[in-house]
Amino acid sequence: MESTPWEDRLREQGFRITPQRQLVLESVNQLGHGTPEEILSSVQKTASGVNLSTIYRTLEVLESVGLITHTHIGHGAPVYHSQDESPHIHLVCDDCAEVTSIPAAAAAEFSLDLQETYSFNAHMTHMAVTGLCKACAGKSELKSHG
Amino acid sequence: MESTPWEDRLREQGFRITPQRQLVLESVNQLGHGTPEEILSSVQKTASGVNLSTIYRTLEVLESVGLITHTHIGHGAPVYHSQDESPHIHLVCDDCAEVTSIPAAAAAEFSLDLQETYSFNAHMTHMAVTGLCKACAGKSELKSHG
DNA sequence: CTATATATGCGTGAAATATGCAATAGGTAG
DNA sequence: CTACCTATTGCATATTTCACGCATATATAG
């Protein structure tokens, strides 16, 4: 009987393997991004009894062992995502709230500059950049022309 | 009797000049950065009767007329800052939570790249970059050597 | 100084997250 | 496979952050 890598990851740190943890991790992987509420919904499709508190505690645990990470996007709702995916930066539209992911590599130079100039070791994966998406920038432009 | 620029700014949009608004604006300018709670404390040193609701509403008003802006840094606590200051980017340490401001110009190239490659009009002023500051990066390094 | 609409203070409410505790269930030794 | 020990869960509740309704106070025009 083989253990999966994620199970080992938890065990190494003295955590137990539970269905809740498995489901939460699967949901995060499947959703790509997800807020705690969204993850709850997803988990409850399979196991309706799972409690929101468990989601929060599980997300903490999974993050502490490095299986997932989270980003704060704007106001209130943290977004969790799989560590499997290639690191990415979130572009968040202030207007329509749409979130676009771009490869972390897009900020490689910026990151290097922060390191060299400010001795700051930026975590690009955690970064959310706010602004206006193409569609919404277009809308504002129309207004200002009117 | 001259009006100050901030008073005009409010009046232009049909807002009234009140001691609360003056105090909140002064606090923000003085604090550099401040969460609503911190701003409340600061304001209450002068006027202890001011209510937290007033702080929230006043911050909204001041932001709507462009006298201040806010950034979401990590979890829950938005940070308001003066618009007088030159636009800056916040570097937030994940470990010690220290916030460093750097000129927005540091991200000029990155910003341009986002525009050209992704048609995304980034608001650098709103941007918070998380990572490790020099001191905390040093600490982790020690640990990993130990 | 007066009229009046805007602002404030206060109590209340809602949303998101944390916590204490008893019950449940992994994991391990035998 | 069984029993035991402790991590984990579910539930109820507390906390934190922010929004809202309404009566009162106050800034501003005339």
Q: Which residues pair with A69 in a beta bridge?
A: A81
Q: Is residue A37's beta carbon less than 7 angstroms from any atom in nucleic acid strand C?
A: yes
Mean pLDDT, rounded, for A72-100: 79
**pLDDT for A141:** 55
User: What pTM does this model have?
Assistant: 0.81
Distance of CA A66 to the CA centre of its chain: 12
DSSP string, chain A: -PPPHHHHHHHHTTPPP-HHHHHHHHHHHHHSEE-HHHHHHHHHHH-TT--HHHHHHHHHHHHHTTSEEEEE-SSS-EEEEESSSPPEEEEEETTT--EEEEEGGGGHHHHHHHHHHH--EE-GGG-EEEEE-HHHHHHHHHHHH-
What are the distances in angstroms from CA B141 to CA A124, B4, B100, B135? 19, 51, 21, 10
Do residues A89 and A127 make contact, with C-beta atoms less than 8 angstroms apart?
A: yes
The closest of A126, A62, A46, A131 to A97, measured between CA atoms, is A131
Q: Which residues pair with A68 in a beta bridge?
A: A82
Helix (H) or strand (E) holding B68: strand B68-72
C19 nearest neighbour residue (CA to C1'): A53
Radius of gyration of chain A (CA): 18
Closest by CA position to A79, among listed A98, A106, A65, A95: A98
Q: A99 pLDDT band (50/70/90 cuts)?
A: confident
Q: Tell me the CA end-to-end span of chain B in Å, nearest whole number.
A: 66
From chain B residues 38-97, the ones with a CB under 8 A of any chain A CB are 72-76, 78, 91, 94
pLDDT by 10s per residue, chain B, length 146: 566 888 999 999 999 999 999 999 999 999 888 899 999 999 999 999 999 999 999 999 999 999 998 887 766 678 898 887 677 888 888 777 778 888 989 999 999 999 999 999 998 877 788 888 888 887 655 444 43
pLDDT band at A15 (very low <50, low <70, confident <90, very high): very high
pLDDT over 90 percentage in chain B: 51
The mean pLDDT value for A10-34 works out to 93
Strand D lies under 7 A from the Cβ of residue A12: no
pLDDT value of position A23: 95
User: Looking at the complex, does the CB of residue B105 fall below 8 Å from at least one CB of chain A?
Assistant: no
Share above pLDDT 70 across residues of chain A, in percent, rounded to a whole number = 90
Rounded to an integer, the average pLDDT of A94-110 is 85
- Residues lying close to strand C (Cβ under 7 A), chosen from 65-94 of chain A, are 76-78
Q: What is the pLDDT of residues A53-62, one digit of tens each?
A: 999 999 999 9
Contacts of B123 in chain A (CB under 8 A): 94, 130-132
Which pLDDT score is estimated for B90? 84
CA distances from B116 to A56, A115, B110, B111, B112 (A): 38, 24, 10, 9, 6
DSSP character for B93?
E
* Cβ contact A120–B131 (<8 Å): yes
Instruction: Please check the confidence at residue A3 and state whether its pLDDT lies above 80.
Output: no
pLDDT(A76) > 70? no
> What is each CA distance from A85 to A64, A120, A125, in whole angstroms?
17, 24, 10
- Beta carbons within 8 Å of B122's beta carbon, 6+ residues apart: A91, A129, A130, A131, B107, B110, B111, B114, B115
pLDDT score for B117: 95
Classified as helix, coil or strand, B108 is: helix
Tally the C-alpha atoms within 13 A of residue A52's C-alpha that lie toward its C-beta. Answer: 5
| Minimum-distance nucleotide, CA of B11 to C1' | D28
A15 vs A82, more confident: A15
- Asked if B94 and B131 count as a contact pair (C-beta separation under 8 A), the reply is yes
Please compute the mean of the pLDDT values over residues A106-132 and round it to a whole number.
89
